[in-house]
Amino acid sequence: MLAIDPSSARSGGSILGDKTRMEQLTRRPEAFIRPSPAGRTLGGVARRTREAMLVCEAAGFDVIIVETVGVGQSETLAAEMTDMFLLLLPPGGGDDLQGIKRGIMELADLVLVNKADGDLLAAARRAASDYGHALGLMQPRSRSWRAEVKLCSAATGQGIDTVWESVCAYRQALEQSAEFQQQRAGQARSWLWQELREGLLQTFQSDVAIRAALPDIEAAVVAGTTPAPLAARELLNQFLARQ
């Protein structure tokens, strides 16, 4: 379990208290839980989540769960680095239109409505119905699988077996159609471009001339005397001229 915690925009700190709320999983000898701060990385994951997944695979873990920060509509990076994107939602979120919002919904391979127990069971069933109708209006992400909506309860464990059956059925469907390997290839391509983007940004920011020119250009942008696009183009031209 690779749990990504949100980081404070001011201090940069994270609570990293995931093991505290995973009492049963923490006691299992075959399980490993690693909390990580998201830092400034967007998309719901951490800067080196992909590398952490490879380390876990090399250590012999056959099921690796990446728990994102849960920001709502922007966990696109998690969808690009995992074999299955599972969206966990509470019942009675108070927004009847949430189920038809695109973005994160159209990335989901499986939607789980949690807390389907006790007084919330009826609300969970209504939410599952709404999400099911919403998914029916969206183009499936996979040629071999149409996203499903399941009910579950983390408190009672009800529905967890059914969820796991869906996970196994999803992988089997993709492997039989050869789409699984194509998806892995897409993950590798996405990783390459992410590393290129971040590497180029780091190279740009560490350039001595750029660091010297940046304070004056930033001041001009803040003062409103130079538009941000023009200032960015000027810095890029300075950087490219010396390459």
Query: The tokens of 205 are what?
Result: 């920011």
- Per mean pLDDT, which range of 44-53, 145-154, 174-183, 201-210 is the poorest? 44-53
Query: The tokens of 241 are what?
Result: 């001229």
Question: Does residue 8 have a pLDDT over 60?
Answer: no
Q: What whole-number distance in Å separates Cα of residue 2 and Cα of residue 44?
A: 12
Question: Does residue 99 have a pLDDT over 80?
Answer: no
- Per mean pLDDT, which range of 35-49, 172-186, 224-238 is the poorest? 35-49
pLDDT for 69 equals 75
**Which ranges of 10-75 does DSSP label H, i.e. alpha helix?**
18-21, 23-27, 49-58
pLDDT for 184 equals 92
Question: Does residue 24 have a pLDDT over 90?
Answer: no
Burial 112-123 (b: 16+ CB within 10 A, else e): bbbbbbeebeeb
Strand order in the sheet with 34-37: 34-37, 2-5, 66-67
pLDDT for 94 equals 46
Question: Does residue 47 have a pLDDT over 80?
Answer: no
What are the beta bridge partners of residue 87?
111
Give the angle 102-190-188 at the CA atoms, nearest 5°: 130
pLDDT for 22 equals 81
Q: What whole-number distance in Å separates Cα of residue 236 and Cα of residue 224?
A: 20
For the chain, give the percent of residues with pLDDT over 70: 84
Of the pLDDT bands very low, low, confident and very high (cuts 50, 70, 90), residue 100 is very low
For 122-173, write each residue's pLDDT tens digit: 999 999 998 898 888 888 888 999 999 999 999 999 999 999 999 999 999 9
pTM: 0.78
DSSP per-residue letters across 180-242:
HHHHHHHHHHHHHHHHHHHHHHHHHHH-HHHHHHHHHHHHHHHHTSS-HHHHHHHHHHHHHHT
Query: Where do you find CATH 3.40.50.300 in the chain?
Result: 2-179
The fold of the 2-179 domain, in CATH, is Rossmann fold (3.40.50)
Closest CA to 147 of 185, 116, 174, 114: 174
pLDDT for 70 equals 67
- Per mean pLDDT, which range of 59-63, 137-141, 202-206 is the poorest? 137-141
Q: What whole-number distance in Å separates Cα of residue 113 and Cα of residue 222?
A: 45
Residue 135 or 96, more confident: 135
Give the angle 155-172-84 at the CA atoms, nearest 5°: 50
Residue 14 or 121, more confident: 121
